[in-house]
Amino acid sequence: MNALSYALLSMLMRKSCSGYELMKLLQAFWQAKHSQIYPLLAKLEKEQLVTFEHIGQTGKPDKKIYSITEAGTAALREWIDNQPASLQLERDEFLIKLYAIGITEPQSAIKLFEERREFMLARLQRLETEMQLMESEEVPVTSYASKQFGRYLLYQRRVRLLREEMAWIEWVLPLLAHDPS
């Protein structure tokens, strides 16, 4: 199984979800498309790691709500306990542009950084809203016993990275605005 398969199982540990819901939940740490998720869910179902229930909808096609099985939980636990995490791969078009930023005019560079800041701010606000919802649950989200514990840790990491990148952008912008060229 690939890492995305385990990511799907991880999401299903918290709650049963449709394929669309899984895609939305994964966005916090993994970019995946419908064309990747649904074949993997079918494979996981065939391997009896997940099961699903058909839910009828009025005016729309029925949807499947997936749940992790005991075998899926065991496979996920085995992967967490015994497989080292692979090195992080970062694919960020912004960083490629940043590497060659010196060939553009300062105004183009400023615009690029301002767009990045706006994107980061919107993402930060969304994550902070999600964290407030998690923090309002009955079982403290900072407790290892909470079903939200791992998700909360992930969101905390992402928020801290976003804040750090936004601080870095604020450091860069005056450098671009005062460029003597």
Alpha helix locations (H) across 47-148? Answer: 70-82, 93-99, 106-135
The mean predicted confidence, pLDDT, of the chain is 88
Picking from 13, 17, 12, the residue whose alpha carbon sits closest to that of residue 65 is 17
Residue 69: φ, ψ to 5°: -95, 175
Least confident among 58-67, 83-92, 113-122, 151-160: 83-92
User: How many angstroms separate the CA atoms of 26 and 52, rounded?
Assistant: 19
Q: What percent of the chain shows pLDDT beyond 90?
A: 46
* Sole residue written with tokens 């560079």: 109
Angstrom distance (rounded) from CA 23 to CA 34? 7
What confidence score (pLDDT) does residue 112 get? 94
- 29 vs 170, more confident: 170
Longest dimension (CA), the chain: 64
Residue 13, both tokens:
């540990």
**Which is higher by pLDDT, 23 or 139?**
23
Q: In angstroms, how far is the first alpha carbon of the chain from the final one?
A: 53
DSSP states along 18-67: -HHHHHHHHTTT----HHHHHHHHHHHHHTTSEEEEEE--TTS--EEEEE
Q: Which residue has the higher pLDDT, 49 or 85?
A: 49
- Residue found under tokens 């750090």: 164
Tell whether the model's pLDDT for residue 29 goes beyond 80: no
pLDDT in tens, 118-150: 999 999 999 999 888 888 877 788 888 888 888
Report whether pLDDT(83) > 90: no
Residue 179 confidence (pLDDT) above 70: no
CB atoms within 10 A of CB 113: 20
pLDDT digits (tens, 9 = 90+) for 64-81: 999 999 999 999 999 988
pLDDT tens readout for residues 87-120: 776 677 888 788 788 888 899 999 999 999 999 9
Count of CB atoms situated within 10 Å of the CB of 80 = 13
Residue 114 confidence (pLDDT) = 96
* CATH number at 3-82: 1.10.10.10
- Per the listing, tokens 């449709």 go with 18
